Amino acid sequence: MFKTILLIGTGGFVGSVLRYFTQMYVHSLFNSMYPWGTFVVNVLGSFIIGIAFALAAKTNLISIEMRNFIVIGLCGGFTTFSTFSVDGYNMINGGNFMWLGLYTMGSVVSGIFAVMLGVAIVKWAM
């Protein structure tokens, strides 16, 4: 049990640090009202979860421990629903309802599509 907690905690640390750097990098590329940094980390994290999910479900290429490290730890720390929610709150306060709608629908649809794409790639490659 301690090993699992340590793996998940380490993954969470790595994912959180990667999220910070990824969001800062993406933000430096786009100066926009749209929160591209949060959008990118959430969609990329969804894609990685799709790959890990498919690998764990269809093969023995990753162990339960590695799946927990990647899905719960790394992607849990990398993706961020709370920042997504704060972005939405800020858009509401700023009266940016069009951006809010685009951001919400774009994030949800893209995230689900990214999981599907990750799963499809694994199925295709296997």
Summarize pLDDT for 23-63 with one digit per residue, the tens: 999 999 998 888 999 999 999 999 999 999 898 887 778 88
- For 5-9, 49-53, 62-66, 117-121, which range has the lowest pLDDT when averaged over its residues? 62-66
Residue 77 pLDDT grade (very low, low, confident, very high; cuts 50, 70, 90): very high
Q: How many domains does the chain have?
A: 1
pLDDT at 89 over 90: yes
Rounded average pLDDT over 88-95: 95
Residue 112 pLDDT grade (very low, low, confident, very high; cuts 50, 70, 90): very high
pLDDT at 87 over 90: yes
Domain span at residue 28 reads: 2-125
Give the rounded percent of residues in the chain with a pLDDT score beyond 90: 81
pTM over 0.95: no
Question: What own/partner pairs with CB < 8 Å and gap ≥ 24 does 17-24 have?
Answer: 17/77, 18/74, 18/77, 18/78, 19/77, 19/78, 19/79, 19/80, 22/78
Rounded average pLDDT over 84-101: 95
